[in-house]
Amino acid sequence: MPRQIVCYLLFAFASLTAGQRFALTSEAALPAEGAAASRELARVNREVLYDYKIGAGDVLQVNVWKEPDASVPSVVVRPDGMISIPLLKDIAVLGLTPKQAEVTITKALGRFITDANVTVVVAAINSKKVYLVGALKKEGPLAYSYRMSVMQAISEGGGLTDYAKRKKIYVLRNENGRQSRLPFNYDAVIKGEHMEMNIALLPDDTVVVPH
C-alpha cells in the first residue's frame, strides 16, 4: 500500500472519537478490492479535513514521495509554531491547513528536490480541546476530534448522570469576542429528531449539562 494512503488512514483513525473507531488492518488482511477502497477513503478524508488548522502540540507526518531521507514519520509542532524536518531544519506550520503546509514545505524543498511531492498528515490532534461541565459521568477538558458532534462529546464524557436535565443541555461558544448559547435536546436527538441540534463542536466549546 502506498505510504501516502497509509498516512491518510492513520489520520482518519486518529481523528475519530472512541465511539467511531474501527480496526485498521494490514493490506494483507483486506479483501481484494481493499486497495481501491483505501484510496477512496483517503480521498474522502482528504476532502473532509481540508480546513483543519494545525496547532502547537499536534503531531504531523511529513512524507516526501520517493524521498525517505527528506521525510519525517512523526514530528511535534513546537510552541513557536515550527517543526524540524531534514534539509529545511525549521519551518513554520502553525495555523496552516495540511494542504497549506504541503505547499509551504514543497516550495522550501524546491532548492533541494525538483518537483517534490509532499504529503502532510495530522496524526494526532493535541492542540485543541472542548469542555464538559455539569451532570456528566466525566467532567473536564476533552481532546478535540475533528468535527466531533455534541452527542459524541457526551459519549466521550461517559454519558449523562441520572440527574441530568436532558432537554436543557446547551453549548457555550465564543466567536469574535461574543458568546452564544446553542440548545441541545438529548432526548430528541437520540430519537432521531431535531438532528440540527447535534452540531459539530469547535475548539474551546463548552457542553453544559444542567442538574
Domains of the chain as residue ranges with CATH: 3-124 (3.30.1950.10), 129-209 (3.10.560.10)
Fill in the amino acid letter for 65: W
Supply the pTM of this predicted model.
0.62
Q: Look at residue 49 in the predicted model and tell me its pLDDT.
A: 54
Tell me the pLDDT of the chain (211 aa) as tens digits.
Answer: 444 444 444 444 444 433 333 333 333 433 444 445 444 434 434 443 567 889 999 999 999 999 999 999 999 999 999 999 999 989 999 999 999 999 999 999 999 999 999 999 998 889 999 999 999 999 999 988 878 999 999 999 999 999 999 999 999 999 888 999 999 999 999 999 999 999 999 889 999 999 9
* Cα–Cα distance, 98 to 185 (Å, whole number): 35
pLDDT of the residue at 181: 95
pLDDT of residue 150: 96
The confidence score (pLDDT) of residue 50 equals 63
**Would you list the DSSP string of the chain?**
--HHHHHHHHHHHHHS-TTT------GGGS-TTHHHHHHHHHHHHHHHTTTPPP-TT-EEEEEETT-GGG-EEEEEPPTTSEEEETTTEEEE-TT--HHHHHHHHHHHHTTTSTT--EEEEEEE--S-EEEEEESBSS-EEEE--TT-BHHHHHHHTT-B-TT--TTSEEEEEEETTEEEEEEE-HHHHHTT--GGGSPBP-TT-EEEE--
Residue type present at position 17: T
Question: Residue 145: what pLDDT?
Answer: 83
